[in-house]
Each structure stands twice: as structure tokens, then as C-alpha cells.
Amino acid sequence: MSTTTQSTTASASDLFEVPAHDAGVDDFSTRVVAATLGAMEVLALHLGRTLGWYDALIDEGPLTSVELARRTGTQERYAREWLEQQAVGGWLRVDDAGAPAQERRFHVAPGAVEVLHDADSPAHTAPLAGFAVAAGRRFDDLVHAYRHGGGVSWAQLGPDARTAQAAFNRPLFLHQLAQEIVPTLPDLHARLLASARVADVGTGEGWSSIGLARAFPTATFEGFDVDEPSVAAARRHAAAHAVEDRVTFSTVDAADLRVSRARDFDVVMAYECVHDMPDPVSVLAAMRAMVREDGYVLVMDERTAETFGAPGDLVERLLYGFSLLCCLPDGLSAPGGVGTGTVMRPSVLAGYAELAGFSGVEVLPVEHEMFRFYRLLL
């Protein structure tokens, strides 16, 4: 079998396999084809989400291309090609493949509904496509930064990246953090039950504070973030979940709160954001100053391997992908940024914490595939 033939007929699942140490040219050629197919499918997936095609098919399907276009205000010829591509790829099912093209009726494969549509499901991974689209839009800027220095900020990456981040973590924050994770941390759990004042640093769209506020009705939360669109979204989410009386959000660099909010909080949290910070030591020092002397400081960040090794597992590969295209360029986009990147290993966080004035870092006994939880000791 020729390289070309083998590459174009290989399963896309080969994308997720690291080639053996003695892999030959055909194996690597297959990986390129599989990766290209994956990129195309990601773009098609994001297209379907952006245009409302999946929503219409799930809420009103099965639909023909004519019906889908009419319901979503889009063009039938494009809708028809997308429907066929999605059916060929297995995302959709077609009821009558032999019918004339405009009369075929399509619906979403049952197993894909949660993945594509259910914002509260842990299986709702479809928002990840937004990262790829956002990075693609800024590819020339990334090349310039890689050649000449500087970076590409979250603000430059735009709403696709921001909403992807928030949507991907939403199920964890709304349905696992308070219900499954915090109860395994007795000290933190007791504080939240006892009317704690909580600071949420780098809150993003606010789901961490909102999820905890729903579960701990006597605690109050203040979220801080430098990104105004994220803060505006967080306020909308808090109002929609009827917790705006106990959850507030401000656009501010947490490093600037070191003096003005000293000793104001019983708990200070930072969820999946320390690795993005241009100056993490300054922010951690502010968190140390903001918490009361007997308080609790919690950091959640990626569950990286403890040391570098190659090849890596699927999670490590995913984290390096995010780092190359998003987190490292963002961390280097501000003058003097340290450039931590997504792959912040426990020893790196411990070093930052020591410089910020903490006495140590405890890795907490929380089992999660993607994230590791730390208590920063006062």
C-alpha cells in the first residue's frame, strides 16, 4: 500500500496515538492526514454552533436543508453541504439517504446531543472548538510574536476564546465544585458553610463564584478580573441564576488589591488562571495580603505531569496545544511577562508561592482528570 493510499484511508483515531519509537514514514503521513481532518471537523463543528444549526436540529429536527436554512436565516446550499458533511462524519443521522438532496431529513446522533448542546453536561466539550477558531484568526500575530517577541492577549483572541473557556468549565463549577470537590476539603467546606467572605481572583465569566454561591447561601463572593467583557458576562450570569445579591464582579487587576482589600476575606480562590498571569508572584502576593491570617487560599490549575517527559499522554498534549496557541502568548503579551504557559508544574507554582510570601503549598486530595487543586499555606 502506498503512503498516500494508507494515509487517506486510516482512521481519524490515529490522531490520538503517539507513533511508536520505530514508526515509519507511513505512520507520520497518516498522522498529518488525521490531524488535518480533525482541524476541518473542528471548524465545521464551530460553524454549526455559530449558525445555530445544531440547536435547530436538536430542538426541531429532523430537518431538511430547506427547513434548516429557513429556520436559521441561512443559505440552503451551504446548509445542504454541511448537513451531508456532518452525516458522513457521523455527527448527524440521515433518515432517507436515497431521497433527493433537498428532501433528505437529518437529525443529531443521540450520543452527540449532550456534547453539542447541553451547556450543563460534563460531556459538553464542543466549546473547545472556539479555541482553535480564535487561534486561527490570529495566526499571523502568533507568527510575529514567535519571531520577534511579545505576545497575543486573551483580548486579542476575542470572544470565541473567552466564551470557550467559560463554557468548558461551566459544568465543573456549577455541578461538581460545590457538590463533589469542596466536601472532600473539610476546612474549606466548613468556612463556606459559616458565612465566609470569598474573593475569586481571575474569575472570568464568574461560574466558580456563582456555583459556590448557589450551594452556600450564607457566603458572599467578590469576583475580580482584568477583562471587562468577561466581567459583564459574569454579572449577567449571576442575575440569571438569582445570586447577584451575594455575588459581585469588578474589573480590576488583583495585584492592585494588595493594600485596599488587605485582610478582607476568609477565603481567596484562583481557578485556572495563575498560569496565564504575566506577573503571577504579584497576584499571589496580593492574595496573601487579602486573606485573613487564619484564612484559606485555594488555587486550581491544570493537572500537568509533575516533570517533563516525552511522549506525553492525551491531557499533556492538549495542555501544550493550549499553551502554544493561547496561554503562553497571552502571558508574554504584557511587558515583563514571565511566560509561564499552560503547563505549570507543581514545582513552578510552589516557587511562585514562596516568592509571594507563602510558607508552602499543599497538593489537595482531589481526583480530577484535568485539574489539580492546591492550598497555599500562610
Average pLDDT for residues 134-154, to the nearest whole number? 96
**What gap in Å lies between CA 321 and CA 338, rounded to an integer?**
19
pLDDT at 3 over 50: no
Return the percent helix, strand and coil in the chain, to nearest 5: 55, 15, 30
Asked if residue 121 is part of any domain, the answer here is: no
| The 3-state secondary structure of 152-220, one letter per residue | CCHHHHCHHHHHHHHHHHHHHHHHCHHHHHHHHCHHHHHHHHCCCEEEEECCCCCHHHHHHHHHCCCCE
> Could you say which of 116, 146, 178 is where a domain stops?
116
Structural domain including 50 reads 3-13+22-116
User: Which comes out higher in pLDDT, residue 19 or 315?
Assistant: 315
How many domains does the structure of the chain reveal? 2
pLDDT in the model for residue 19: 74
Same domain for 137 and 106: no
Residues 162 and 90 both lie in one domain:
no
Which residue is it, cell 500537568?
Answer: 304
pLDDT at 278: 94
Kindly tell me if the per-residue pLDDT of 7 is higher than 50.
no
Residues 160, 249: one domain? Answer: yes
Same domain, 141 and 108: no
| Beta-bridge partners for 197 | 220
Kindly report, residue by residue over 20-47, the tens digit of the pLDDT.
Answer: 777 889 888 888 898 999 999 999 999 9
User: In this structure, is residue 122 part of a structural domain?
Assistant: no
What does the pLDDT average to over 296-308?
A: 96
Where among 93, 116, 139 does a domain terminate? 116
pLDDT at 15 over 80: no
> Tens digit of pLDDT for each residue in 64-101?
999 999 999 999 999 999 999 999 999 999 999 999 99
C-alpha cell at 128: 473547545
Name the average pLDDT for the chain: 93
User: Is 230 found in the same domain as 340?
Assistant: yes
96 shares a domain with 136: no
Tell me: the pLDDT tens digits for 319-337? 999 999 999 999 999 999 9
Write the pLDDT tens digit of every residue in 45-57: 999 999 999 999 9
Instruction: Decide if pLDDT at 306 tops 80.
Output: yes
**Same structural domain, 206 and 316:** yes
Measured CA to CA, the distance from residue 220 to residue 223 in angstroms comes to 10
Same domain, 96 and 240: no
Domain of residue 264, CATH code = 3.40.50.150
Same domain, 34 and 54: yes
Domain assignment present for 57: yes
C-alpha to C-alpha distance for 283 and 356, rounded to whole angstroms: 8
Identify whether residues 90 and 216 lie together within a single domain.
Answer: no
Whether the predicted pLDDT of 147 surpasses 90: yes
Residue 149 in any domain: the answer is yes
What gap in Å lies between CA 316 and CA 309, rounded to an integer? Answer: 10
Give the whole-angstrom CA distance, residue 101 versus residue 96.
10
pLDDT at position 153 is 94
At 167-225, the pLDDT tens digits run 999 999 999 999 999 999 999 999 999 999 999 999 999 999 999 999 999 999 999 99
Percentage of the chain with pLDDT > 90?
89
198 has which bridge partners?
221, 267
pLDDT tens, 276-297? 999 999 999 999 999 999 999 9
Nearest to 216 by CA among 166, 254, 179, 165: 179
154 and 285 housed in the same domain: yes
Last residue of a domain, one of 116, 139, 158: 116
